[in-house]
């Protein structure tokens, strides 16, 4: 009993540490003060008005979401292409491929950014833009996508696919009606994780974004000046709210129970 109570207390403390800074950030964005802290000087909307009136800030929000959505879709599709052979096939070099897949998680983003800048800009001569930034984010997001989808496929009951094929279903039909619905929660989780990885990055964006700024780069630049702090807090609060909305949508779709259809009622 005591052990269960201790785990419960630990859980609430963990949630407090995670969400309290976000809540304070949101509160301070409405504080009529240039400092991010107490005492409370009064409620104001001028920092939010300044944010929504700044075309550069709105452009950075658009850039961040364009890149993050692209990375979520592409990294998840690539993760499916990696997860299926690693889980369902045995081939030479399989362990090497798995180890190489995990390298972006172990290597600091600073080194990844420098390496990709040397490859894409210096060697290949590509102009730095949202396209090169998306390439970098896909590279660092692919391990997360692959691991989530591999975990989903490991617990997959393949007898369902075999039964469908025995009944005459083609490979594509089996995937569409059997495999995809069962791994769909993993796909939603993969898209949310890769979306978040791209949305919060500032290091790789510094090397590969060029003149196209994202929100972390914009906020970091504003924090260099004291008068830029309130508007940066409003922008950050806006991104937190949007991210929470996306998190709720993804999690609802991932864990929503699939209730069986009610049986048809007989006549009479």
Angle at 74 between CA 141 and CA 108, to 5 degrees: 20
Report the alpha-carbon distance of residue 225 to residue 216 in Å, rounded.
15
- The predicted model gives 208-232 an average pLDDT of 80
Q: Which residue has the tokens 């400092």?
A: 35
Report the alpha-carbon distance of residue 54 to residue 26 in Å, rounded.
19
- Is the confidence at residue 9, as pLDDT, over 90? no
Helix or strand run (H / E) with residue 42: none
- The predicted model gives 168-192 an average pLDDT of 82
Give the residue, 129 or 168, on which the prediction is more confident: 129
pLDDT tens by residue, 223-264: 777 666 777 888 888 888 887 787 777 667 656 655 444 555
pLDDT of residue 254: 57
- Model's pTM, two decimal places? 0.79
pLDDT tens by residue, 55-98: 888 899 899 999 999 999 999 999 998 888 888 877 787 888 88
Q: What are phi and psi of 241, to 5 degrees?
A: -65, -45
pLDDT tens by residue, 103-153: 888 888 899 999 999 999 888 888 999 999 999 999 999 999 999 998 888
pLDDT of residue 170: 76
**Which residues are within 8 A (CB) of 142 and not within 5 positions of it... i.e. 6 or more apart?**
75, 78, 79, 82, 101, 104, 194
Q: Where are the beta strands (DSSP E) in 187-238?
A: none
Domains of the chain: 59-214 (1.10.3720.10)
């Amino acid at each position: 009993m005591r052990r269960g109570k201790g785990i419960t207390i630990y859980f609430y403390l963990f949630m407090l540490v995670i969400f309290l800074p976000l809540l304070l950030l949101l509160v301070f964005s409405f504080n009529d003060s240039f400092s991010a802290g107490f005492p409370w000087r009064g409620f104001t909307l001028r920092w939010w008005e300044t944010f929504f009136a700044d075309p550069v800030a709105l452009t950075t929000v658009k850039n961040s979401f364009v890149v993050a959505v692209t990375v979520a879709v592409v990294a998840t599709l690539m993760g499916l292409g990696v997860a299926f052979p690693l889980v369902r096939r045995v081939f030479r070099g399989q362990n090497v491929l798995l180890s190489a897949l995990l390298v972006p998680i172990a290597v600091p983003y600073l080194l990844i950014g420098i390496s990709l800048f040397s490859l894409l800009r210096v060697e290949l001569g590509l102009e730095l833009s949202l396209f090169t930034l998306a390439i970098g984010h896909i590279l660092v997001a692919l391990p997360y996508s692959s691991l989530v989808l591999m975990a989903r496929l490991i617990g997959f009951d393949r007898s369902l696919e075999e039964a469908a094929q025995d009944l005459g279903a083609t490979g594509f039909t089996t995937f569409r009606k059997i495999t995809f619905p069962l791994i769909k929660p993993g796909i939603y989780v993969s898209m949310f994780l890769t979306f978040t990885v791209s949305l919060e990055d500032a290091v790789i964006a510094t090397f590969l974004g060029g003149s196209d700024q994202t929100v972390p780069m914009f906020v970091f630049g504003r924090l260099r000046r004291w008068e830029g702090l309130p508007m940066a807090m409003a922008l950050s609060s806006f991104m937190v709210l949007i991210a929470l909305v996306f998190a709720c949508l993804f999690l609802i779709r991932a864990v929503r129970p699939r209730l069986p259809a009610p049986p048809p009622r007989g006549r009479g």
